[in-house]
Structure 1
Amino acid sequence: MTHTTEHDLAEAGRRLGHDIHTRTRWERQSGWPQPVREGLDAAAHARLARGTPDRFVRKWLQLRLNAWRRGRIVDDEVTPALLRALDITHCPVTRAELTHGERLDTDWSIDRLNNDAAYAAGNLAVMSVRANRAKGARSFDEVLALAGLPHATAGLAPHEWLRLATLMLGPAFATRHGAAPALPLCAPLPCRSTRLALQQIQRLLTLQSRRPDGKNRLVRDFRPACRTERAVLRLRTLADAVHEGLKRLPAEAECWDVWLQPGLMPALQAWRDTLDAPGWACAARIAGQLAGARRETAQRLQAWRLPSRGYHPLAMR
């Protein structure tokens, strides 16, 4: 579903109808778009075998149907296997345990983190219906502003808005990394979402600094990015601060809450300020290698359909 001609919009609907017939036992619905019904009827006429869907296939088909109706593009990399990989047990925004198909605000949902982009692998996250509904069409800037208010808004507390902003940060600044603000990494990032270098570094520090050997190993790993002894000292200070901060967390807290402790973000910024442009590029490269990350290239970002804000051109007329 990545093509952009009028013909391909109809063809995407037919492919969806074909998949509904072959992957489910759903009854044909008269309210489905005509191309979807055409694809389903063609598959039925060909007497193709039918399957019994699991919840990932059901969500995949429902997502594509809803996207088609709104003129949104769904990239071919969005598959049931991707949704299975993205699956989590708790909402990263509200931290409530996720339910499935119970028509509750804790039900899991798939959301585009950058509302001005298509359904693409690097732009998706699982979250609760409650968090998804609160986010709605809000931009990153609007979400971050709500995180700074002293009261709840649209059912989310300020700290929940901050977690949502953390998720949205990478996709929102996928094409303009230098303009991104530095935020505390107070929520787990989706396994395939676009991440900024600073977020990748925060994640590594969070996951590996609980033990002294992990902390010391990270300092060694990032040392090539430090061109001065001052930079090395600031790096050690940062790693020590994360290590001690993790030990201070209460039992009910998540490890990501460490970045909300006083002094952690200033320590991170202090180290960042000691690195020149080549040093920071080296740090970003090391972080990507340690995380096994795939670089988000301009070619890969074409799947996001940013010029059309993720809409099929026909749907914009």
Structure 2
Amino acid sequence: MTAWNEHDPVEAARRLGHDLYVGTRLPKHTGWPEAVQEGFSAAAFDGLARRTPDRFERKWLQLRLGACRRGRIVDDDVTVDLLRELDLTHCPVTREPLTHGERADTDWSVDRLNNDAAYAASNLAVMSTRANRAKGARRFEEALALSTREVPTDGLTPVQWLRLAVLMLGPAFATRPHDAPPLPLCAPLPSRAVRLAQQQIQRLFIVNARRPAGKNRLVRDLLPACASERSRLRLRRLADILHEGLKRPQDDQACWDAWLVPEAMPALTAWRESLDAEGWGRAAAVAGRLAGARRETPRRLQAWCLPSQGYHLGWLPRPRAFA
């Protein structure tokens, strides 16, 4: 993990050129940045063996080349194996099956969830090209505002904008989680992206509350966080609401709509408000333990290069007007 002012854009570009030579059968392109061409030519001069990439290797190289052209930092934790881990069958925003290499709106793409940060494992998600294009350079607040409109915007419906805002929420508030607004968890979160404590708890209800045994087990796990009978009753009511919402036939995508049931979010809010700070901390710790999550730290967030908004030195952007 490297601090933002220690990333060497020239060396990163040369490594990319080397990897483009070794990992593809492409000819050298004069349109590539000069340092990329240098790395490519050096690998060719050394007579290194070449291979045909699979779609994950190809996407990894495309991502790095696009970032290189825009002066964006790609952290070393963004690897081919990471892309394999993040891979999905359906877009979490549009819920359409993802395609590959068809030059279609449904083709898979990989993008940053916090546009003011670098390409890092905890800031990436897979989504369709259509969703990625609509997101563009928008920040969380803009995506959330578009979810309240009555008509589609840039090809996404209001509920699809809400799903996108849900994906962006954790990375947008990674450094100030207490300022994050509560949102219904109506989309699956990327396996490595930053998740807030409430999102971890919401996910556990989706995973466990469909069957009575799972619902009851989760309630037992969370009961130690409840210091009063009122909070215990509210926890059980929340679990019952999610259980009812999940009892209907659900596929892997639609199950997340249980949090859109009108009673779900008020019940979650009521339970949380019945807990003191220590109780909510215990609930968050239980959720993190059950999910196998690790606590995000300032040190790990160094990979996001937030002081430079994810850019290499010399590429600092002008301030962007807020829409």
Equivalent residue, structure 1, for 2:320:
none
Counterpart-to-counterpart distance in 2, 1:295 and 1:252: 27
Report the Cα offset of residue 3 of structure 1: 5.7
What SS is found at the alignment partner of 1:316?
A: coil
Contact preservation (8 Å) 1:6, 1:314: no
Counterpart-to-counterpart distance in 1, 2:5 and 2:261: 50
1:88 aligns with 2:88: yes
TM-score by length of 2: 0.95
Contact preservation (8 Å) 1:249, 1:258: no
Change (3 A) 1:5 1:53: same
Equivalent residue, structure 1, for 2:165:
165
Report the Cα offset of residue 230 of structure 1: 1.4
Contact preservation (8 Å) 2:17, 2:37: yes
Structure of greater relative contact order (alpha carbons < 8 Å, 6+ residues apart): 2
Residue by residue over 1:211-233, the C-alpha shift from the partner in whole angstroms, topping out at 9 and shown as x without a partner, is 11100000111111111121111
Identical aligned pairs, as a percentage?
68
Change (3 A) 1:252 1:27: closer
Counterpart-to-counterpart distance in 1, 2:49 and 2:227: 62
Equivalent residue, structure 1, for 2:72:
72
What SS is found at the alignment partner of 2:8?
A: helix
Equivalent residue, structure 1, for 2:292:
292
Report the Cα offset of residue 248 of structure 1: 3.8
Equivalent residue, structure 1, for 2:229:
229
Equivalent residue, structure 2, for 1:216:
216
Equivalent residue, structure 1, for 2:192:
192
What SS is found at the alignment partner of 1:313?
A: coil
Equivalent residue, structure 2, for 1:23:
23
**1:106 partner amino acid:** T
**2:68 partner amino acid:** W
TM-score by length of 1: 0.97
**1:93 partner amino acid:** V
Equivalent residue, structure 2, for 1:113:
113
Contact preservation (8 Å) 2:3, 2:302: no
Counterpart-to-counterpart distance in 2, 1:205 and 1:272: 14
Counterpart-to-counterpart distance in 2, 1:152 and 1:18: 43
Contact preservation (8 Å) 1:2, 1:73: no
Counterpart-to-counterpart distance in 1, 2:200 and 2:253: 21
Equivalent residue, structure 2, for 1:271:
271
**1:265 partner amino acid:** M
Counterpart-to-counterpart distance in 2, 1:261 and 1:61: 41
Contact preservation (8 Å) 2:187, 2:253: no
Change (3 A) 1:2 1:60: farther
**2:127 partner amino acid:** M
Structure 1 residue ranges (4+ consecutive) displaced by more than 2 angstroms after TM superposition: 1-7, 248-253
Change (3 A) 1:223 1:48: same
Contact preservation (8 Å) 2:10, 2:35: yes
1:260 aligns with 2:233: no
Instruction: List aligned pairs for 1:241-260, cutoff 5 A.
Output: 241-248=241-248, 254-260=254-260
**1:293 partner amino acid:** A
Counterpart-to-counterpart distance in 2, 1:296 and 1:314: 29
Equivalent residue, structure 2, for 1:239:
239
Equivalent residue, structure 1, for 2:281:
281
**2:161 partner amino acid:** W
Instruction: List aligned pairs for 1:136-147, cutoff 5 A.
Output: 136-147=136-147
Report the Cα offset of residue 250 of structure 1: 6.4
Report the Cα offset of residue 252 of structure 1: 9.7
Contact preservation (8 Å) 2:113, 2:167: yes
Report the Cα offset of residue 2 of structure 1: 4.3
Contact preservation (8 Å) 1:85, 1:191: yes
Equivalent residue, structure 1, for 2:49:
49
Contact preservation (8 Å) 2:3, 2:305: no
Change (3 A) 1:232 1:7: closer
Contact preservation (8 Å) 1:13, 1:68: yes
1:10 aligns with 2:10: yes
Change (3 A) 1:246 1:279: same
Contact preservation (8 Å) 1:144, 1:162: yes
What SS is found at the alignment partner of 2:111?
A: strand
Report the Cα offset of residue 301 of structure 1: 0.4
Q: Would you say how many aligned residue pairs link Structure 1 and Structure 2?
A: 317
What SS is found at the alignment partner of 2:89?
A: coil
Residue by residue over 1:19-40, the C-alpha shift from the partner in whole angstroms, topping out at 9 and shown as x without a partner, is 1111111111111111001111
Q: Unpaired segments of 5 or more residues in structure 2?
A: 318-323
What SS is found at the alignment partner of 2:110?
A: strand
